[in-house]
Amino acid sequence: MAKLVRAHVYVSGYVQGVFFRASMREVAQQYGVKGWVRNLPDGRVEAVLEGEEDKVLKVIEWARRGPPLARVEDVQVVWEEYKGEFKDFKIRW
């Protein structure tokens, strides 16, 4: 069985108003990753990702590039204990 992980992710750069959240939700759903994504007041995007380690890593890899209009400058990842608290992947407001 694959290792289940949880990652708290912060993405900075030109990442708001460029469909970053909607695109991340699409990518996460493709990989079966659960959690959420939201914009922060400081201009960053924050996400919590849960799922199989290799699939969570794929979503993080995508976040380092982002959607076509984004200009990602930095991605910070904080690994946390897997909780299994999500049923799907949502955009939070």
d(CA 5, CA 53): 5
- Single out the catalytic residue among 6, 25, 38, 39: 39
- Is 92 designated active site? no
CA distances from 15 to 23, 34, 53, 54 (A): 11, 21, 24, 24
Q: Is-catalytic flag, 39?
A: yes
Q: Which of 6, 21, 25, 44 is catalytic?
A: 21
Q: Which residues are catalytic?
A: 21, 39
